[in-house]
Structure 1
Amino acid sequence: MTDRIELTGLRAYGRHGVYDFERAQGQEFVVDAVLELDLSPAARSDDVADTVHYGELADRLVAVVTGEPVNLIETLADRLVEVCLADPRVHGATVTVHKPEAPVPHAFTDVAVTMRRTRTR
């Protein structure tokens, strides 16, 4: 499948992490999501009902980030990629979770985890 919908730089405040202060203070997480699906029905109909509504997808992803805390961004990424695959039209999804304020005692730009999953038939 070569058609994709990409949602990048989605920001939400969550309380994920292995340390108590991460749970107490929280921090910003940034999510990139790429959905693989056939976009030709939407291109032909020009109707949002024939595609994944990226605004509604963003709402669902933010709900996960702002929801129940987890220790690892690996777990968070897994939950987010499952949200992407919940729509049966999506054949594959790649999610990257960025944790730019991760508690790393060195200068760094970003910590990120990327997961790609495909629908099992």
Structure 2
Amino acid sequence: MSATPADRIQLTGLRAQGRHGVYDFERARGQEFVVDAVLELDLTPAARTDDVADTVHYGELAERLVAVVAGEPVDLIETLADRLLAVCLADPRVDVATVTVHKPEAPVPHTFSDVAVTMTRRRAR
């Protein structure tokens, strides 16, 4: 059974320190990144059994996403988002994942609130 559009798990505002960026100073000092993840999957089994084993454990997902952000540096937040999507889609129950990576401390020489990249991937079946 495939997920209906209404079945989603959302993890919003996950904060982690990383050393991603094109510039040497970004790698040297690091900065905070904020991740939003939306997983589309069929939540009917979990709703019926009331068992965490029948769904994506969002606490464990958060740990895996933070490990990626804190892990090997990349130049682009697009690359980081792609790696985070791979983590989300590693669970075979997830049909579609959308990840937004926010870089609120990006080296932009103007006043701004946020820089973000959003990417969506569908499981190849």
TM norm structure 1: 0.99
For 1:110, what is the secondary structure of its paired residue? coil
Partner of 2:52 in structure 1?
Answer: 48
Which ranges of structure 1 fall in alignment gaps of 5 or more residues?
none
Out of 100, 105, 117, the position equivalent to 2:121 is 117
Partner of 1:61 in structure 2?
Answer: 65
- Aligned letter for 2:26? E
2-structure distance, mates of 1:74, 1:111: 11
Partner of 1:22 in structure 2?
Answer: 26
Moved over 3 A (4+): none
2-structure distance, mates of 1:27, 1:79: 18
Summarize deviations over 1:22-66 as a string: whole Å, max 9, x none. Answer: 000000000000000000000000000000000000000000000
- Aligned letter for 1:27? Q
2-structure distance, mates of 1:108, 1:82: 29
For 2:108, what is the secondary structure of its paired residue? coil
RMSD: 0.3
Which ranges of structure 2 fall in alignment gaps of 5 or more residues?
none
For 2:107, what is the secondary structure of its paired residue? coil
TM norm structure 2: 0.96
Matched, 1:10 2:35: no
Q: What percent identity do the matched residue pairs reach? A: 84
For 1:69, what is the secondary structure of its paired residue? coil
For 1:106, what is the secondary structure of its paired residue? coil
Matched, 1:39 2:55: no
- Aligned letter for 1:56? E
